[in-house]
Amino acid sequence: MKLATARSPDEVLAAPADRLDELSTGDRWTVDARRVVGIPGGMVQGTAEMSRAKEALHALRERGIAATFTHLIVRATGLALARNPGTYQMVCGYDRLTTASIDIGVSTSDVPAGLPAVVVGVERTPLSALVGQVDEALAAAARSGGKRIARGGWFAAFGFVRRWLLRRWRGAFGSRRRLAGTFEVACDSNADVLGPIRFHTDAILAAGRVRDVVLVDEGEPVIRPVVHLTLSLDHVAMDGMRAAALINAVKEILEGDELLAEARGSPAELAPAP
């Protein structure tokens, strides 16, 4: 048996010291925004089979368009909202707004930003054009950091002033649409299931990574790509039944041929959303 020998002082490793940093101005706005924004009233989940969406992704890339599943999910969400206007409306105070344009706030794990990137008119933008629009909005959101809400002059150095400003902005349709859109979509390729509990609009659709799983097709096991979708909502804007209807509408578009037709550049790509 070998006995441990005492080490010299030079051999003793120094214990790591704690590090304490102050939050930047943008990070302070983010912290206060999380305090002001409430938690969701409910969640609805569903699973979409992504074989058709995967074909659409390959078709876009063959055309030289660097698309991802995020772009397909954003497009499907915009179309589903436009075609089912009764499922979701924005609510501020005692007013309810059914928007003429679907402006989606997009968040991804690949582009960190304090606020979602707002993409305007998703339902009117063909898939091939939407890819560039989403990427530009994400890049702009990453560059701006917290500057999009870092206002109020030196008064904003006080937390209670920032929280007052944030509550005021959340109480107006215009500022909410400008900062986060009318509806949010979050995609994270690092997780199987994503379930946000704080968000800036009244509802958010979150998607995890697309992965292969074993499904049963006509009694036979098959391997198919799937994505898990979670719709977190504030009950002032929608209830569970309407949330389920919306998530099923998104699922139907992702599993159908419409996105594939757009990705191939067929005439259907130019057809306006009904």
Q: Which of 42, 45, 39 is nearest to 244 (CA)?
A: 45
Q: Which of 160-169, 220-229, 250-259 shows the lowest per-residue confidence on average (mean pLDDT)? A: 160-169
The pLDDT of residue 92: 80
Average pLDDT over residues 28-32: 67
More confident position, 230 or 153: 230
Check if the beta carbon of residue 259 is closer than 8 Å to that of residue 75. yes
More confident position, 29 or 81: 81
The pLDDT of residue 107: 92
Quick check: 67 pLDDT over 90? yes
In this prediction, residue 55 has a pLDDT band, given cuts at 50, 70 and 90, of very high
The pLDDT of residue 34: 67
Quick check: 187 pLDDT over 50? yes
The pLDDT of residue 153: 53
- Mean pLDDT, the chain, integer: 83
Return d(Cα 191, Cα 210) in angstroms, integer.
9
The pLDDT of residue 266: 61
Average pLDDT over residues 40-66: 93
Rounded to a whole number, what is the largest CA-CA distance in the chain?
81
The pLDDT of residue 268: 46
In this prediction, residue 269 has a pLDDT band, given cuts at 50, 70 and 90, of very low
In this prediction, residue 259 has a pLDDT band, given cuts at 50, 70 and 90, of very high
Return d(Cα 37, Cα 24) in angstroms, integer.
20
Cα 99 to Cα 11, 37, 95, 210: the distances in Å are 68, 22, 12, 30
Q: What domains lie within the chain, and their CATH numbers?
A: 29-266 (3.30.559.10)
In this prediction, residue 26 has a pLDDT band, given cuts at 50, 70 and 90, of low
Quick check: 58 pLDDT over 80? yes
The pLDDT of residue 16: 80
- As given in the structure block, the two tokens for residue 90 are 């924005």
In this prediction, residue 274 has a pLDDT band, given cuts at 50, 70 and 90, of very low
Quick check: 6 pLDDT over 70? no
CA 81 to chain centre: 15
Check if the beta carbon of residue 52 is closer than 8 Å to that of residue 264. no
Average pLDDT over residues 4-9: 58
Quick check: 224 pLDDT over 60? yes
pLDDT in tens, 106-149: 999 877 666 789 999 999 999 999 999 999 999 888 877 655 55
In this prediction, residue 263 has a pLDDT band, given cuts at 50, 70 and 90, of very high
